Structure 1
Amino acid sequence: MGDELKRQRKHSSRKWILLFKAFCISLVLGVLAGAALLTYLYATSLPMAESDRNSRLLDSSGAVIATFSSGGKDSIPVQLNEIAPSLVDATLAVEDRKFYDHYGFDFKGLGRAVLVNLKRMDMAQGASTLTQQLARNLYLSHEKTWNRKLKEAMYTAQLEMKYSKHDILNMYLNEIYYGHGAYGIEAASQMYFGIRASELTLAESAMLAGIPKGPTYYSPYNQMKNAKDRQKVVLEAMVDTGTITRQEADAAYQQTLPFKAPSERRTVEEAPYFRDYVKNVVTQQLGISPQLLDHGGLNIYTTLDSQMQQAAESAVAKGMDAKSELETALVSIDPRTGYVKAMVGGKNYLSNQYNHALASTRQPGSSFKPIMYLTALDSGQMTGATVFNSQPTIFHYDHDRLTYQPKNFGDKFLGEINMRRAIAASDNIYAVNTIMKIGTEKVIAMARKMGISGSLNPVPSLALGTSPVSPFEMASAFAVISSGGQKLPATAVLRITDAAGRVVYEAPQNRPEQVASPAAAYVLTRMMESVFESGGTGNRVANVMKRPVAGKSGTTDTDAWMVGFTPELSTAVWVGYDKGKAIQTADGHRAAPIFAQYTEQALTNVPPKIFPVPDGVVSVYIDPQSGKLATAACPQKQLEVFVAGSEPKEYCSDEGTSPPQPQDKQADLKKEKHSWWSDFKRWWMN
């Protein structure tokens, strides 16, 4: 009996030893398997996120300003320090209070959810942390299956291994969906309130933090009551976590929030019209397929200057009536490079995606005249001193079979005037006299070389801008004048790289084409500066312009223009209606202020520069009445610039007054040499 008991005890002891060994082996194997799994997860790269597969648009500084997505996904990436702390606190309080304490999983909440799911035999309840939500949004669908849950757990662990909590939170706030096409807090802030995420108040933060749980159900645009109820839940959570006081929560809940109406909401991406333009360039001109653009992870480096783009959007917003159907467009090009620096294709992209900046259906009116005057100056057929009589005139053309009788605005006729006065006052009689003298064929040929590609009708009224063009073409054409007669192709895309960083496209290094002489372009520029001086059609904005600027306005029954340039920017502004409706007089005055405000704001950090004087230019005093050299006896005299050799040779006379003495002529020549510097000093002192 004793031996049997001993055998049983010995057997039982051996059994426990075996069980202990098995447990230890299992433990070791489990630890090894866990270590192997963790090593595998750490060493394995995460899959490419859906957002990473969308191609990105970058500005001239390399900052991402937009994404390309066939699903209309709009996002504006920002850093965590560019988000209001109240939004961060609100998100953590309502979504994941233990975010900084766990390693991606809330096991207590997960266990509770598993029990509920097992009881119901489905996947009805979850306990997702921010990291889990991020993994799901980046890499997975939202279907509730065990397979998806397993993958979510793996990706969650990998995210926690590879990124800091700071990075995970930053990615989450840039990825989460806030409804109405806005992904990320910056896009949501701009869409709902028209402000940046850094400017959000506590009340606004609590409202936005509550939306991701149900972007449709909690949308303040769709269900305001649900949105306010959810905002209260968020504020209560913030009180519970101690990030705000009860008094702050109550005050925030009572606050009336300044939601943007759909017609007034800012677009959720910067430069949406430029984005669409680049998309067309990339797919239609550079041969990249729409599928590759949407899902190839391309980086498209562009010429857009974000500071100038913001200045353009600000000028348009200030200069246009948001409630009116009146539309606008602004295009700005660097004449030194041909780079497109800013583009606004309409008043509000959300309500009208038609890009008016590219629409070749608008009559430029008198803003077309500089193209004709450059032709006249470059051909040597006319100078700034050429005089025509501004009076009612009937012009005969087409072998005298047809007639044309232009009019001046308000039926004001100025009598004998020179080219400078004609440009400043936008005299139509002088303009038609010019095109009749030099010929429509030469004007059309020059327009083509300057970048006008649309149909141009070879009739006298071409001088008055009756053939339609686009703002983009006008900005390109005036860039030729600003750059001393040199033409560079308009460029928007500099480089494209694929997801691996390999260069797919590199913009060619274009050499400028000299389409007009530098001297002729400078002479025209000096005369176009008078548009912004006393008596000029742009004089109303002269007090806004703090730098040398040249330009030309244009007004028809349906369109208003201001096209002008500095040494750094050539800009075209158009205002009108989509359906060709007649504009009111007040609407015709909107283009110039938009141009002036944009130019000054875009060049805020650029010191004013005079237009560089090329070789082959001389300055002399002339009698504006006769166009001849001025003497002391002339009742008026005006300093004018000429292409060397084209300046007047005869002197004006007053009852036989003789030419000035040699010393006077020497003094005039001295002034000719330094006239541009004298003009600059006089401008600077004023």
Structure 2
Amino acid sequence: MDTASNDKPKIRPSSRWDKLRRRLGWVTLLALFALAIASSLFLRYGSLPAGAAMQSTQILDDEGHAIASIQGGVNRQIVKLSDISPWLVKATLAVEDRRFYEHSGVDLRGLARAAWVDMRHMSKQQGASTLTQQLARNLYLSQERTWTRKLKEAWYAARLEQTYSKEEILELYLNQIYYGHGAYGAEAASRLYYGKHAKDLTIAESALLAGIPKGPRYYSPHLHPSDARARQRKVLQAMRETGQLTQWQASIAARKPLNVRPLPEEEDRTAPYFADYVKKIAIDQLGMDERLMNEGGLTIRTTLNARMQKMAEAAVKKGLQGGNAELQTALIAIDPRNGYIKAMVGGRSYRRNQFNRVFAHTRQPGSSFKPIMYASALEQHAVTPATRYRSEPTLFYFDHDRQIYRPSNYNNRYFNEEIGLRQAIASSDNIYAVNTIMQVGPEAVIAMARKLGITASLKAVPSLALGTFPVSPFEMASAFSVFANEGRKSDPIAITSIQDSNGKVLYEAHVREEQVLSPALSYVTTKLLESVFDRGGTAHRVANMLKRPVAGKTGTTDSDAWFVGYTPELTTAVWIGYDRGRSITSSEAHRAAPIFAQFTESALEGKPPRIFPMPEGVVSVYIDPATNLLASPDCPNPVLETFLSGTEPTEMSARLDSSSGEHKDSGGKSRSLWSKLRKWWGV
């Protein structure tokens, strides 16, 4: 067999594809070489861009008028590096860039580590910025988290390192960086927080300041002192690890008390609490960068109505006149139709205290919480406006009869007879309220509160009916807005849009509405809450101040006074009390309702009164107030009462004729009580 052909070596012929690959390889090498030369030339001879000019951010009301200006760069004093404490320089390098003197603008090891983490998690969150990169970002770039921005940042940082010495870069950085509360640079921050020059800062003071730029809001010694102290200890630890401090020096500095100066008083401005809230929402919820907020020239359009805000501040001022100077207040007004916040007063004086009590989750709402409980009971048909309970001292057993609850009425006043739901709401009877929650169950009440938007911690116990668990004025106003808006819940909105300095829309709000209650249930609840202003009601003193249909509820505890009420177009919650929870007097407790009444009427001045529209699923019948049954023709004082369809009474009331001692039925025919008893027993 001829095998010669099998013994010849196999030779793979050269292909055009091999030649093409070789050529592409050379082209790639040449391109990379050209790119390297171009990059080197640009870094050596290319000029840096001009630093971004800082612009103030404007906060506008619902008509486009400025109500606040967030000024960027107004508090800055440029100083030389020699006029900054060496301790602040060392603290800053220890916590921000330990290899500052070793790299050329970019820490390649840190950058590689950050890039690896970003690629693994497909994110752009891992930081590896050197101090020079931070300076480049502050001078030339935005705060957006993109790989493109990071590349530009590294490029500019390298160019800065070629243009300036390390000491010059440090000087630029320490004069540029933001330290919170409008202070830019070490000198302005030192004067703001300590009232001294930056060159005089101690180790402890320097460590605190060096920790702030990481998060000026979160590490502010004014807003979050404990977090600021923790951050200071971390900086001191970094200084010890880098050999800048001994263990003894770090321990002494960590224990040393800091005399941080109070923030300077600001000029009076429109809605300062609201402006702070807007800034917080923009940063914490909408993700706006704080530096962009302070110096990016944004335009923030809000829901606030400047005229209503002025009316709110006037009502609060008048309502607190003649009282204790430490007595505090909060007012929040919301348009229930869309959730727009129209007015906000967070305290008696913004100058003296910037804490916004509208969002305080430490105050018990008292009886102002009862409408939420009654709405739950009405929805479950556990009670109706015809349900009667006896108003007298009562013991309630719960938790399978293992616990006893003994509620009492305000000033121990009881009717000592059976009363109906309307009378119980008007007089704020606690015994009726606890009887109701025992019928419907506290779990159902909590479920109702959640539907209305209340997120505060609530426990399933009988005292829940009396508002013993803290809820903020903000949440109370939001919850009552559902009743005002025919059962529709709209999330509260403060910001309608945000635009950058070029007019580009960065954020736009959209009203989110959800039907959480039936219109019929909301209407019946509202009609019952109107009785608070009737004669004998807890708010009857302010009834003559109101010229339009209004519903609401008072609430009083030992340390808190509330009024939460609404019209079809405005819901308002008012709180009165002391910051430290000290007891309020009877006269102080009566200040909340007048503030509500004055604000509501003045805010809606010029607008015609609007009634609450009656929806389907509701019936109104005349009842006998003595029995809460259908009123008979001879009933002397019939009352028109509103019910959910199917829950109205069907039995006619029979009244005892006081002159004859006889019982009269609905047809007007009389029979003696003895005759009725004989017939009943079949005698």
Report the TM range for the smaller structure's normalisation: 0.5 to 0.7
- Give me the whole-angstrom Cα distance separating, in 1, the residues matched to 2:74 and 2:315: 27
Partner residue in 1 for 2:427: 425
Query: Partners in 1 of 2:665 and 2:582 — Cα distance?
Result: 58
Deviation (angstroms), 1:591: 0.5
Alignment correspondent of 1:390: 391
Q: Please give the root-mean-square deviation of Cα atoms over the aligned residues, in Å.
A: 2.2
Matches of 1:443 and 1:509, distance apart in 2: 27
Cα gap change, 1:578 to 1:509, in 2 (>3 Å) = closer
How big is each residue's C-alpha offset from its partner over 1:10-47, in whole Å with a ceiling of 9 and x where there is no partner? Answer: xxxxxxxxxxxxxxxxxxxxxxxxxxxxxxxxxxxx99
Structure 2 CA distance for aligned equivalents of residues 640 and 577 of structure 1: 39
Matched to 1:472, the amino acid is F
**In structure 2, which of residues 65, 68, 76 is the aligned counterpart of residue 66 of structure 1?**
68
Aligned residues: 426
AA paired with 1:559?
D
- State the alpha-carbon separation in 1 of the partners of residues 472 and 491 from structure 2: 16
Aligned mates of 2:382, 2:557 — CA distance in 1: 28
The residue that corresponds to 2:541 in the other structure is 540
Deviation at 1:72, TM superposition (A): 8.0
Query: What is the alpha-carbon distance in structure 2 between the residues aligned to residue 266 and residue 533 of structure 1?
Result: 44
Residue 392 of structure 1 and its aligned partner are, at CA, apart by 0.8
Alpha-carbon separation, structure 2, partners of 1:660 and 1:370: 38
User: How big is each residue's C-alpha offset from its partner over 1:336-390, in whole Å with a ceiling of 9 and x where there is no partner?
Assistant: 1111110000001000100000101100000000001111112222211111111
* Structure 1 residue 635 displacement after superposition: 4.8
Residue 71 of structure 2 contacts residue 295 of structure 2 at CA under 8 Å; is this kept in 1? yes
1:300 is matched by which residue type in structure 2?
A: I
Asked if the contact 2:73–2:295 (Cα under 8 Å) also holds between the matched residues in 1, the reply is no
Mapping for residues 162-177 of structure 1, pairs under 5 Å: none
The CA distance in 2 between the partners of 1:624 and 1:396, in whole Å, is 30
Kindly provide the amino acid, as one letter, of the partner of residue 407 in structure 1: S
For 1:453 and 1:280, the matched residues in 2 are separated by: 19
Offset of residue 609 of structure 1: 1.0
State how far apart, in whole Å, the 1-side matches of 2:516 and 2:386 are. 23
Contact 1:633 1:653 in 2 (8 A): no
**Counterpart residue identity of residue 305, structure 1:** N
CA distance in 2, matches of 1:346, 1:599: 18
- Equivalent residues of 1:360, 1:454 under 8 A apart: yes
Give the drift of 1:634. 3.4
Q: Distance in 2 between matches of 1:425 and 1:632?
A: 28
**Residue 471 of structure 2: which of 469, 486, 504 is its match?**
469
1:535 aligned partner, one-letter code? G
User: CA 1:320 to 1:266, structure 2 compared with 1: closer, same or farther past 3 Å?
Assistant: farther
Measured after TM superposition, the shift of residue 636 of structure 1 is 3.8
* Equivalent-residue separation in structure 2 for 1:266 and 1:542 (angstroms): 38
1:616-631 correspondence runs (5 A): 616-631=617-632
Q: Match of 1:501, as an amino acid?
A: G
- Stretch deviating more after TM superposition (61-70 or 290-299): 61-70
Q: Residue 633 of structure 1 corresponds to which residue in structure 2? A: 634
2:481 is matched with which residue?
479
Aligned to 2:571: 570
Offset at residue 468 of structure 1 (A):
0.1
Q: Is the 8 A contact 1:621 1:640 kept in 2?
A: yes
Structure 2 CA distance, aligned partners of 1:291 and 1:401? 58
Amino acid at match of 2:377: A
Q: Is the 8 A contact 1:366 1:555 kept in 2?
A: yes
Could you tell me which residue of structure 2 aligns to residue 55 of structure 1?
57
Which amino acid in structure 1 is aligned with residue 592 of structure 2?
A
Q: Which amino acid aligns with 2:394?
A: T
Match of 1:460 in 2: 462
Q: Confirm or deny: 8 A CA contact 1:316 1:594 kept in the other structure.
A: yes
Corresponding residue for residue 297 of structure 1:
297
CA distance in 2, matches of 1:657, 1:634: 10
Give the direction of change, closer, same or farther, for the CA distance of 1:389–1:289 in structure 2 (3 Å limit). Answer: same
Shift of 1:615: 1.2
CA distance in 1 between counterparts of 2:267 and 2:573 reads 22
Residue 500 of structure 1 corresponds to 502
Q: CA deviation at 1:70?
A: 6.0
1:657 match: 664
CA distance in 2, matches of 1:328, 1:346: 5
> Displacement, 1:520?
1.2
CA distance in 2, matches of 1:500, 1:592: 46
Helix, strand or coil at the partner of 2:449: helix
Q: Report if aligned partners of 2:555, 2:562 keep a CA contact under 8 Å in 1.
A: yes
Partner of 1:584: 585
SS at match of 1:561: strand
Distance in 2 (CA, whole Å) between partners of 1:542 and 1:317 is 20
Corresponding residue SS for 1:421: helix
Cα distance in 2, alignment partners of residues 391 and 459 from structure 1: 20
Q: Which residue of structure 2 aligns with residue 678 of structure 1?
A: none
TM superposition shift of 1:276:
0.8
* C-alpha separation in 2, matches of 1:560 and 1:71: 43
Q: Which deviations, in whole Å up to 9, do the C-alpha atoms of 1:246-282 show, x marking residues without a partner?
A: xxxxxxxxxxxxxxxx9xx995220000011111111
**TM-score, reference length from structure 2:** 0.60
Alignment gaps of 5+ in structure 1 = 1-45, 74-180, 182-261, 662-686
Report the Cα offset of residue 323 of structure 1: 6.1
How many angstroms does 1:605 deviate by? 1.9
* Counterpart AA for 2:379: D
- Aligned-pair CA distance for 1:626: 2.1
Give the aligned partner of residue 615 of structure 2.
Answer: 614
**Separation of aligned partners in 2, 1:47 and 1:531:** 62
Does the CA contact (< 8 Å) of 2:338 and 2:511 recur in 1? no
Once the two structures are TM-superposed, the CA of residue 448 in structure 1 deviates from its matched residue by 0.9
The answer on whether the counterparts of 2:372 and 2:445 sit within 8 Å (CA) in structure 1 is: yes
Give yes or no for contact 1:554–1:560 (8 Å, CA) kept in 2: yes
| In structure 1, C-alpha distance between the alignment counterparts of 2:343 and 2:373, rounded to whole Å | 27
Q: Secondary structure at the match of 1:543?
A: helix
Q: Secondary structure at the match of 2:318?
A: helix
Match of 1:489 in 2: 491
Counterpart of 2:517? 516
Partner of 2:347 in structure 1? 346
User: Is the contact between residue 418 and residue 625 of structure 1 (CA under 8 Å) also seen in structure 2?
Assistant: no
Conservation of the 8 A alpha-carbon contact between 2:523 and 2:614: yes
Q: Could you tell which deviates more after superposition, 574-583 or 312-321?
A: 312-321
Query: Is 1:288 the equivalent of 2:306?
Result: no
Residue 509 of structure 1 deviates from its aligned partner by: 3.7
**Deviation, structure 1 residue 656:** 5.3
Distance 1:323 1:403, change over 3 A: closer
Given the alignment of the two structures, is residue 438 of structure 1 paired with residue 440 of structure 2, yes or no? Answer: yes
Residue 594 of structure 1 aligns to a residue whose secondary structure is: helix
Question: Residue type of the partner of 1:286?
Answer: L
SS in 2 for 1:646: coil
Match of 2:251 in 1: none
Q: Distance in 1 between matches of 2:592 and 2:510?
A: 34
* Structure 1 CA distance for aligned equivalents of residues 284 and 456 of structure 2: 19
Which amino acid in structure 2 is aligned with residue 551 of structure 1?
Answer: G
Distance 1:380 1:534, change over 3 A: same
Say whether the 8 Å CA contact 2:491–2:511 is kept in structure 1.
no
Tell me the CA shift for residue 65 of structure 1: 0.7
Tell me how far apart the structure 2 counterparts of residues 430 and 538 of structure 1 sit (CA, whole Å). 19
2:138 alignment counterpart: none
Report the TM-score, using the length of structure 1 for normalisation: 0.60
| 1:139-288 matches, cutoff 5 A | 267-288=267-288
SS at match of 1:65: strand
Question: Taking structure 1 as reference, are residues 70 and 324 closer, same or farther at Cα in structure 2, changes over 3 Å only?
Answer: farther
How far apart are 1:458 and its partner, in Å? 1.2
